[in-house]
Structure 1
């Protein structure tokens, strides 16, 4: 009884829209933390569980034995080749101290890790149209609450999975939970903030929740895995999911079904709209780029830079910091200078930053390119979601379940193809060619965003019957 009265008091003292925005931001944070925790530590999990703990010793630990063996060799010219072999196996461009054994195993992990990360996007892609249709029947509150339950289940499964197959199942469940979180969350915001300027600011705050999740996830997961254990980050995320569920019970109405009053625009009409498609493809390419880099950068760090496990997540720290800055700086400015321009500039910055990735020989060399990557991604994301709602308001009916299902489908296609294709390309052609392909793709597509500079509204056509009646009157 006391809990219910506290919730009622909270609703009376605060603007209901701000409470909804806060709940959505927390849901985004939890979903994104789970999303980013998996990527940097997945190679380490597979390396430790499959390659074997007995093989995870660093090469520097065997250096002392090698040097002592070298000292026992007789004085002769044969000692120099042996010393050269020691130096060549212990020194690397990025880190001369520590390096992993089993380089061939790590290199071959590209495809398997890419597939593991892609499963989430594939399941999310398949679930999005279902969620969009479901929202028309139930409203936004209930699907969002179901998303919390699924994310909570996925977190627990990640914590106690000890094989590649179970990790894939947990990742797939996570994709379903993300679909039930993202689509109703963005649709609810578009509905409660009908004014375009307020909507842009609200979505910028909600996407800041995404940025916080991205900011915390990778370094948090890597540090917890290294110093506490594999289950620890996922158990913390499960506890955060429970907190989010309690907030939803207080603020939203997950037990009451509220079908949308406005007739939804059919998916076919939305998909055939060229302006929506240009926006969706741009979103897909940006996430395709991030999806390709997410599994391949940690593997490159293990393979080339000999980076310890805690650094695998820290490599993404500059990108999420600048992503957060970009969301807050350009949230209000995008409406003034044009959201289409922000998206176009974001894609160009993404392309340029990706081209500089292969030049890094240690984690410090990644700071500049990854910071620019996050800034470009934030510049684009702060504009693309409000622009989607604006296009629906301008050219179709103001029902947001379908349009954000399409936006999330575009995002998921990028994340489904990105990790799987990125791992295969990195294994076959190398990371350098992967970065070149991604950079050219982003820069080449960017000029198409100029088409969104001034999209037309709905064509006001007179019904055929009325035209015929008017013609008859004129004839008389």
Structure 2
């Protein structure tokens, strides 16, 4: 790397590269690309994994149109005893010898196959949900280590490490042919995502100290995340249907390699220590205002996380949806999320980020309750679009709000607070898929979504607390007032005793 840097600095090209390295916009582009690729990999598997796992578990009967070539048979049963008597109450002349006149058709082989397939698909929802949740669980465990690590070595090295890990995960996805191998690939992606997300958001918060500019920058970066979510499902579904399972992941690995080279050239990964003392993770976790903001991110994303493993299988079961339809169904949510994050980056600052997030949670709840009412793929467009837009409202409001809360209540060092923000995001995507399979199996797809909708409604009023959080100075003055009041009460008690 040193040789590359010396070659670059010794050419005319080096002057342009140096200016690029100092540009905040280029840092924003690099972070947005990293989030795009990470979330593109995250969602590309959504239309691929459920059907791929079903096919490898049922090689003799892969998913597709139910076979209609099997012969239809009927079985005869004896008549109900009440049919032995005629209307006058006398015994009928019907005897056992003519029982065959009472023919009652059983389920046809096609209907029986549908019933068995429905049972297998519901069971598979549990496996797929656990696999999808593994990435978020691993990311959840990695974040508390990555956040403080950025305080010691800076953001660039963890950012580059995130690229390397994501590249390996993509290659494993491309060639994995069993549940266990694909599970490892999904879990490994969680470590890379932790490095990219925490480092990227911390880097932006540091480069954009002004609260308004920071909100705009994070809205654009989350737009990269939204674009990855937007492209992933249809890209995965179409490529799987017409090219094969490995093709989308090989293309993603090539794009990730390009992003790694850009980071290597422009960010120059190296150790950069923070000048000021960072706030402890314990002090941030114990801050109720940070917890409220983080909780909003969790509940906002939990609904869509529950839909990722269960909606494609529900569509296969109730609508007979094919691969491309399963991928395209998330398209309205992704497009509207992209619009919502870019719109509410600046708008959230004007109207109040607490209000934008509060309204977002209410809209999320309404949309989740509308999804089970859909009878075909067209009926899913409006609730999915509303869901994506509302999640964009919450994410683009609460991510910069976390940085703002650290500025006014703690020390302006951002690695740990964005580790908490990423933990909140991961909790939604860990709890959601992990619980969705069990909930669908026990209470049904509809009641699962009604339950998470009610949780969003109940949590929304808490965001009013973020309307005017006390600053560090106000906090000190409140503590002084409390101490003064305690001293005064103690003095009064001593006087009364005398």
**Which whole-Å CA distance do the structure 2 matches of 1:8 and 1:19 have between them?**
15
The aligned counterpart of 1:456 is 470
The aligned counterpart of 2:82 is none
Q: State whether residues 207 and 327 of structure 1, in contact with CA within 8 Å, keep that contact through their aligned partners in structure 2.
A: yes
**Which whole-Å CA distance do the structure 1 matches of 2:333 and 2:418 have between them?**
25
Q: For residues 46-195 of structure 1, what are the structure 2 equivalents within 5 Å?
A: 46-52=53-59, 54-56=60-62, 58-60=64-66, 62-63=67-68, 66=71, 81=105, 85=108, 102-195=117-210
Q: State whether residues 332 and 381 of structure 2, in contact with CA within 8 Å, keep that contact through their aligned partners in structure 1.
A: yes
**Count of residues paired in the alignment:** 449
**Which whole-Å CA distance do the structure 1 matches of 2:101 and 2:212 have between them?**
77
The aligned counterpart of 1:471 is none
Q: For residues 71-470 of structure 1, what are the structure 2 equivalents within 5 Å?
A: 81=105, 85=108, 102-254=117-269, 256-458=270-472, 459-460=475-476
The aligned counterpart of 1:17 is 24
SS of the residue corresponding to residue 402 of structure 2 reads: helix
Q: State whether residues 51 and 63 of structure 2, in contact with CA within 8 Å, keep that contact through their aligned partners in structure 1.
A: no
Post-superposition shift, 1:10? 3.9
- Per the alignment, do residues 14 and 157 of structure 1 end up closer, same or farther by CA in structure 2, a change over 3 Å counting? closer
TM-score, reference length from structure 1: 0.89
**Which whole-Å CA distance do the structure 2 matches of 1:13 and 1:291 have between them?**
37
Structure 1: stretches of 5+ with no match in the other structure: 71-75, 91-98, 468-476
**Which whole-Å CA distance do the structure 1 matches of 2:405 and 2:183 have between them?**
36
Between stretches 36-45 and 183-192, larger displacement belongs to: 36-45
Structure 2: stretches of 5+ with no match in the other structure: 75-99, 484-498
Q: State whether residues 58 and 101 of structure 1, in contact with CA within 8 Å, keep that contact through their aligned partners in structure 2.
A: no
Root mean square deviation of aligned Cα: 2.6
SS of the residue corresponding to residue 40 of structure 1 reads: coil
The aligned counterpart of 1:95 is none
Q: Deviation per CA, 1:71-100, whole angstroms, max 9, x where unpaired?
A: xxxxx9999958x9589679xxxxxxxx79
SS of the residue corresponding to residue 460 of structure 1 reads: helix
**Which whole-Å CA distance do the structure 2 matches of 1:59 and 1:232 have between them?**
24
TM-score, reference length from structure 2: 0.85
- Per the alignment, do residues 13 and 399 of structure 1 end up closer, same or farther by CA in structure 2, a change over 3 Å counting? closer
Post-superposition shift, 1:40? 2.5
